[in-house]
Amino acid sequence: MIKWPARIELAQLPTPITKLERFSKRFKDTTIWIKRDELTGTEVSGNKIRKLEFCIAEAQNQSCDTLITCGGIQSNHCRATAVLGARLGMKVHLILRGEKPDMPEGNLLMDYLCGAQISYLSQGQWRGHEDLATELQALYASQDRKAFFIPVGASDEVGLWGYIKASEELKQNFQDLKMEPEYIVTATGSGGTQGGLIVGGELLGMGSQVVAFNVSDDAAYFEKKIREDVTLWKQRYNQEFDEDKMKIRTVEGYVGPGYGVAGPEIFDSIAELASSEGIFLDPVYTGKAFHGMVTELQKGDAGALRGAKNVVFIHTGGLFGVFPQQQNFRFG
């Protein structure tokens, strides 16, 4: 029995799971399914809301009225936090990496519309973002407010619960479909989705292997980060869990030119899935992971998804990140 911590229901759940009827035809033996976590909401679409259900419950338990979090200028996580803060009547302060643009677009536009306060740190200053968060907490305390800090991507021992909980939903999906996929595929950026799926799968005795495609850093980084988060999670929630059983599989080679920067093959993959199935990926996370998954499937037994009859791709959202990169699509 899993001992769940406090959670506030914010996401539209359960999300649907869809078979890619037309797209899967290119594979003789494999069917691709999509777990539609881009449908967890409209403004809050994507994976972050599942983690934030636990993080914000924790903030409220600590009587906090303000949320401080951080990420890139086009952070989906920061946008989800800004939206939820507005929805719950909490103040949100975002620390964003990069220069303030003349004209906010995509996720950043939504951050401003939701009334988030924003501090910008240059790439060089970014190392100090947690120190700035601590200073802001002190500043808010002097104004009689109490601020709760959520780290990048809500990937910590609290946010880990999001995809442990989602694993329950997946298990139910697989039972309903009478199908147990060999692989569950996700993009990984700060590690919380990947970590939660691995822990959830293990706790619930699921047979599918979690395979992540990194969009930043490398496999060694995610191995370390997930093990650290799981250790803290065990301590904080007094959970019995044998972390030696965890198989952390991160497939490298699909970051492309860098985090947030994609090559033409990613924009082509986005257009291909949109035209064949009406499902939109994004160029920062899901487009790279989906392209990586398809490329590995095409390698057959030589690829990372050997023997895949059914693969479930977790669509973690990111739609608003498409628009600031619209100039990279090729038409005609």
What is the binding site for ligand PLP (CB under 6 A)? Answer: 46-47, 76-77, 153, 155, 187-194, 282, 285-286, 316-318
75 tagged catalytic: yes
Work out the burial of residue 98: count CB atoms within 10 Å of its CB; fewer than 13 is exposed, 13-18 middle, 19 or more buried.
Answer: middle
CB of 217 to ligand PLP, least distance (A): 10
- Compare residues 181 and 260 and give the one whose CB is closer to ligand PLP: 260
- Compare residues 80 and 206 and give the one whose CB is closer to ligand PLP: 80
| Cα gap 265→305, rounded to integer Å | 20
| Cα gap 126→258, rounded to integer Å | 17
CB of 3 to ligand PLP, least distance (A): 23
DSSP state of 258: B
| H or E stretch covering 94 | strand 91-97
- Compare residues 190 and 208 and give the one whose CB is closer to ligand PLP: 190
Residue 120 backbone dihedrals phi, psi, to 5 degrees: -105, 140
Which candidate in 24, 45, 63, 75 is catalytic? 75
CB of 290 to ligand PLP, least distance (A): 11
Residues 6+ apart with CB under 8 A from 189: 153, 214, 215, 216, 259, 285
Q: Residue 94 has which token pair?
A: 């975002």
DSSP state of 275: H
With H, G, I as helix, E, B as strand and everything else as coil, classify residue 24: helix
CB of 314 to ligand PLP, least distance (A): 8
CB of 231 to ligand PLP, least distance (A): 18
With H, G, I as helix, E, B as strand and everything else as coil, classify residue 323: helix
- Compare residues 140 and 285 and give the one whose CB is closer to ligand PLP: 285
- Compare residues 181 and 317 and give the one whose CB is closer to ligand PLP: 317
Catalytic positions, written as ranges = 75
